Amino acid sequence: NVQTDYTLTYKYTDLHGCTGSMDMILTVRPEPIVIIDPTATTLCFGNPYTIRSQYNHAEGVLWSKGTMSDGTILGNDTSVQIGYNPGNGDLAKLYFWLHIVTRHKDNICKPAYDSIKVNMSAMPAPEFGDSMKGCTPMIVPFTDMSQIATGVISQWLWDFGDGGTATSQNPTHEYTRPGKYTVSLKAISDAGCVKSITKPDYIETYIVPDAMFIADPPVALLSVPTVAFENRTINTTPLTT
């Protein structure tokens, strides 16, 4: 895996036994390799874009943009890391291409190439409706109201605050215990741009009184017709009537 020199010897003997020889030094090089960072395939509007590469067995690299990409390469196009500023055409089609090739002084070895397609979108603006209150158990339909200026929201990650989660756009969740619950929504675009919103105490579910009473006596005589009723209701709150 490293450049290595070999000595080749040619020896000639004629019919009279006279001998001559010649040596040649043969240099063998490994094939060049270049790899663009495969994780940098997305760009969210408003964020700078940088890309790295790695290469071996070459004197250097040279970056170029795709033939249909109209942005600007930032920095030295012969560095392993560059930046890129998308152009209007890139923004219109929501992607751009960057290419890289290895450089060699003598061009003996065939250059190595790599390319990357970068998808773009705006940052999502996650949103859902107004807070809700009710009695336990309470079934709550959640409505996604998220928006995105350019691109598509492709994933939704809900956290209902009671240990429950969902990945559908408009889920329904049942709260089975009284309390206050903080709800959050994470919206993810098709280009991997992520933004979250959290609403503290968004859901409040009330305890339900369990009405009970006793009568004393349970059987009354006509001669003593008064019956005393005692409230034995449990799970009451200060506003229980």
- pLDDT, tens digit, for every residue of 132-175? 999 999 999 999 999 998 888 999 999 999 999 999 999 999 99
Q: Which residue has the tokens 């036994």?
A: 17
pLDDT at 237 over 90: no
Q: What is the pLDDT of residue 78?
A: 96
Q: Are 136 and 177 within 8 A, CB to CB?
A: yes
Integer Cα distance of 23 and 148 in angstroms: 70
Q: Are 140 and 173 within 8 A, CB to CB?
A: yes
Q: How many CB atoms lie within 10 A of CB 230?
A: 9
Upper half-sphere CA count for residue 68 (Cβ side, 13 Å): 11
- pTM confidence score: 0.63
Cα 134 from chain centroid?
35
